Structure 1
Amino acid sequence: MSRLPLITTEIADDEQNALLTELKRQLGRVPNLYAALANSPAALRGYLELRHALAGGVLGARLREQLALLIAAENGCDYCVAAHTMRAGRMGFDEREISDTRDARSDDPHTDAVLRLARDILRTRGRIDDAALAAARAAGVSDAEIGDITGHIALNVLSNYFNHIAAPELDFPAAAPTEGSKMNQAWRDAARVELAEGYTLFDREGQPARTVQDARISIEGGFLHIRVADDADIQIVSAPGVALVTYRAE
């Protein structure tokens, strides 16, 4: 049980409600961590504004996600590790890439250098030595990237530390082990999947949609996993976002 109350639209004041409404528009729902952070609208707004600013920085979406996962792992934040493991999987990372990210490793030399630098900054509280900085620059990490990396550390330390304080209930699938066999999902054919109001997924044309036809689905840990085509990424929707699933006759 969360040590801080989870703010919902039913009990939120006007300022909290505006923030929660925007989160739901962006994510389809309000994760428990953000609902707890809404106890301080200033902190939640600051987090969202910094995240928005950094999304326009020099680091790509995949690398930003890897930084979030690495930082959560370094800080021992089970909630954020679970959330970013799920997101990394949706972005196409396989189990080994996720495990390597948590250990600050990558087959790509530039990504490897970014992750190692971020870990050094975390572990030294910013007091990295000249050799660590020189190694990152030798691998092509720019000064702008160094600034963005530090910004992402600040962003994710905020969410990690707040999670330690609030201890909200995990509302993402628990992170898979970094070693061992891959989990097997039981997939079924669905003739139609319809989401609740405010939730969307991407259809075969890559367009946001509330309803898709002829998809493959799997239900695990209170989440619906959806693949709209054989070569499409798996999309994940929480149980409250699912209005109707019609299975194809077997």
Structure 2
Amino acid sequence: MARFTFHDEMTAPKAALPAMAQAKQAFGFVPNLVRGMANSPGLAEGYLTLSGLYANSSLSLQEQQIVLLTVSRYNGCDYCVAAHSMGADMAKVAEDVIQAVRDDQPIADPRLEALRVFAAKMVDKRGWLDEADIRAFLDAGYEMQQVGEVILAVGMKTLSNYFNHIAQTPLDEAMQAHAWSKNDSAA
């Protein structure tokens, strides 16, 4: 099966270099995700643009990572579950919350649990949520703005999760401690 090349700054298409530089500035290195996406410069740029927009959402850093981790876990993306486990740890999400999301188990905090459930339902129902799904999310203290921001996160993660499924993106060394496999979970 044909595989993507994981480029560096010397082998990447010229049009991908700005995205690679942006990733290096943001993370201190160019993650394998972006190195692989460099094969399609528009994909790399689109992903990083959506990431920047989502980072500026009204959700807290912890809430953002819970959504990204939930969507990645639901989609069975080994790479992104590891990446967002690391991101959640860096955002000071409690270890038991990270583990609950990784294991597809309820979070003890009712507000965060409503967020996790809402994000999973958004993916599961492909956006066809019913009034009860939305009402449960709003009743937990969220607003319609956050409904849209969860949709933004799902779109962003769809790009990276699907890319990683096809590319079989290897984990970066920085993420090794957070490795996860859909084959080892109750997916």
TM-score between the two structures when normalised by the length of structure 1: 0.66
* Cα distance between partner residues in 2 of 1:99 and 1:26: 26
Q: Report the 3-state secondary structure (helix = DSSP H, G, I; strand = E; otherwise coil) of the residue aligned with 1:36.
A: helix
Q: Measure how far apart 1:169 and its partner are.
A: 1.6
Question: Given that residues 32 and 171 in structure 2 are in contact (C-alpha distance below 8 angstroms), is that contact kept between their aligned partners in structure 1?
Answer: yes
Residue aligning to 2:183: none
Map of 1:224 onto structure 2:
none
Q: Is the 8 A contact 2:67 2:119 kept in 1?
A: yes
Give the equivalent residue in structure 2 for 1:59: 59
1:130-145 alignment, distance < 5 Å: 130-145=131-146
Structure 2 partner of 1:96: 96
Return the letter of the residue paired with 2:148: G
Deviation at 1:173, TM superposition (A): 0.8
CA separation of 1:133/1:104 partners in 2, compared to 1, >3 Å: closer, same or farther?
farther
Q: Secondary structure at the match of 1:105?
A: coil
- 1:104 is displaced (CA, Å) by 6.0
Question: Cα deviation per residue 1:140-190 (whole Å; 9 max; x = unaligned)?
Answer: 22000100011101111110110001112222215367xxxxxxxxxxxxx
The corresponding residue for 1:79 is 79
Identity of aligned residues (%): 34
Paired with 1:142 and 1:48, the residues of 2 have a C-alpha distance of: 25
Residues in 2 aligned to 1:52 and 1:6: alpha-carbon distance in whole angstroms: 22
- Tell me what 1:160 maps to: 161
Distance 2:82 2:90 in 1: 12
Partners in 1 of 2:57 and 2:132 — Cα distance? 25
Instruction: Give the match for residue 114 of structure 1.
Output: 115
Residue 20 of structure 2 is matched in structure 1 by 20
Aligned partner of 2:178: which letter?
A
Tell me which residue corresponds to 1:229. Answer: none
Structure 1 Cα separation of the partners of residues 89 and 138 of structure 2: 29
4+ long deviations beyond 4 Å: none
Matched, 1:148 2:176: no
Alignment RMSD (CA, Å):
2.0
The answer to which structure has the higher helix fraction is 2
Question: 1:41 offset after TM fit, Å?
Answer: 0.8
Evaluate the alpha carbon distance shift between residue 173 and residue 53 of structure 1 in structure 2; reply closer, same or farther with a 3 A threshold: same
Whole-angstrom distance in 2 between the partners of 1:66 and 1:139: 15
Instruction: Report the Cα distance in structure 1 between the residues aligned to 2:176 and 2:122, rounded to whole angstroms.
Output: 29
* 2: CA distance, partners of 1:174 / 1:39: 27
Alpha-carbon separation, structure 2, partners of 1:94 and 1:147: 25
Alpha-carbon separation, structure 1, partners of 2:67 and 2:105: 9
How many residues in Structure 1 have an aligned counterpart in Structure 2? 177
Q: Which structure 2 segments of 5+ residues have no match?
A: 181-187
Contact 2:77/2:161 (8 A) holds in 1: yes
Using CA pairs below 8 Å that are at least 6 residues apart, which structure has the higher relative contact order?
2
AA in 2 matched with 1:22 = Q
Distance 2:115 2:171 in 1: 29
Matched, 1:44 2:44: yes
Which whole-Å CA distance do the structure 2 matches of 1:51 and 1:154 have between them? 10
One-letter code of the match for 1:175? H
Structure 1 unaligned regions, length at least 5? 178-250
Distance 1:104 1:71 in 2: 14
Structure with greater strand percent = 1
